[in-house]
Structure 1
């Protein structure tokens, strides 16, 4: 074995050698197994070259007697970039965060911004009014209100228990 066979980068062709990613076969097989395992759930498990770099909005879910409130942080997006759907009892928030402009003249040393398609799915409990769901978007924060079905308050009548002799 020659020393240049151990070097992963060749300055002449500027490409990584094929054996530079010994775990890529493992990664693909792992993805296949995990996607098969989680296929019955509402969230796919995907790993790719940008693992950890794709955009995934943070969500908060709060509830009280009247409603369930879902907040999704969607910085850099507008209401036109977002789609909210309800299928059966699953609420989906999806969209795409795009790179607006790529400056070819700039040399980047660090990129922490994340971009790409996203989809968050939330299974709603029974007892919600699906027809009354509302979504609002303001300043990068989307708020979805899911009203609960009002349960009629029953008048409770106390019945006296008499002693029989």
Structure 2
């Protein structure tokens, strides 16, 4: 099958128009659109019996790129991957790899034991463990009626 590109706008499909639109925009504009769309990595929050488990999808980062900070009741997870300056002898026709960064903040409640928060980066997923505080168990006492 041979693909033929036409200049007739009425003969193009919607997908073809969208591809032409985004492929013909200036490189800086499409980069800005991509950064706005993908500025926040997706996060899963799982509640277990003794802790909460945050899973931040952040492929392409190294462990040293992350910064996790707890200020009061705000937990902030951020990462920045800087572009390395390399001298290239080849002509770059199109560059879509670039420096990446993000910042996500979560408000923690009084149930979280802030002193024991842990984090581990593995296979493109940042795992953050938020242990629950041991709640003071109410003393149950039976009172006799006289």
Instruction: State the alpha-carbon separation in 2 of the partners of residues 87 and 65 from structure 1.
Output: 25
Q: How many residues align?
A: 113
CA deviation after TM superposition for structure 1 residue 153, in Å: 2.3
SS in structure 1 of the partner of residue 141 of structure 2: coil
Find out whether 1:92 has 2:76 as its counterpart: yes
Stretches of structure 2 that go unaligned for 5 or more consecutive residues are: 1-30
Q: List, as ranges, runs of 4+ consecutive aligned residues in structure 1 with deviation greater than 4 Å.
A: 99-104
SS in structure 1 of the partner of residue 33 of structure 2: coil
Kept after mapping to 2: 8 A contact 1:70/1:144: yes
Instruction: State the alpha-carbon separation in 2 of the partners of residues 96 and 145 from structure 1.
Output: 21
Q: 1:52 aligns with which of 28, 34, 43?
A: 34
Kept after mapping to 2: 8 A contact 1:55/1:115: no
CA deviation after TM superposition for structure 1 residue 55, in Å: 4.4
CA deviation after TM superposition for structure 1 residue 67, in Å: 1.3
CA deviation after TM superposition for structure 1 residue 88, in Å: 0.7
Map of 1:119 onto structure 2: 103
Q: 1:66 aligns with which of 42, 50, 69?
A: 50
Instruction: State the alpha-carbon separation in 1 of the partners of residues 93 and 124 from structure 2.
Output: 29
Kept after mapping to 2: 8 A contact 1:55/1:114: no
Map of 2:93 onto structure 1: 107
- Residue deviations 1:34-88, cap 9 Å, x none? xxxxxxxxxxxxxxx7033254322111223421211111101111011110011
SS in structure 2 of the partner of residue 51 of structure 1: helix
SS in structure 2 of the partner of residue 105 of structure 1: coil
Stretches of structure 1 that go unaligned for 5 or more consecutive residues are: 1-48
Instruction: Provide the aligned C-alpha RMSD in A.
Output: 2.8
Instruction: State the alpha-carbon separation in 2 of the partners of residues 70 and 81 from structure 1.
Output: 18
Change (3 A) 1:102 1:65: farther
Q: Which has the higher mean CA deviation after the structures are superposed, 128-137 or 150-159?
A: 150-159
Q: TM-score if structure 2 supplies the norm length?
A: 0.63
Q: TM-score if structure 1 supplies the norm length?
A: 0.57
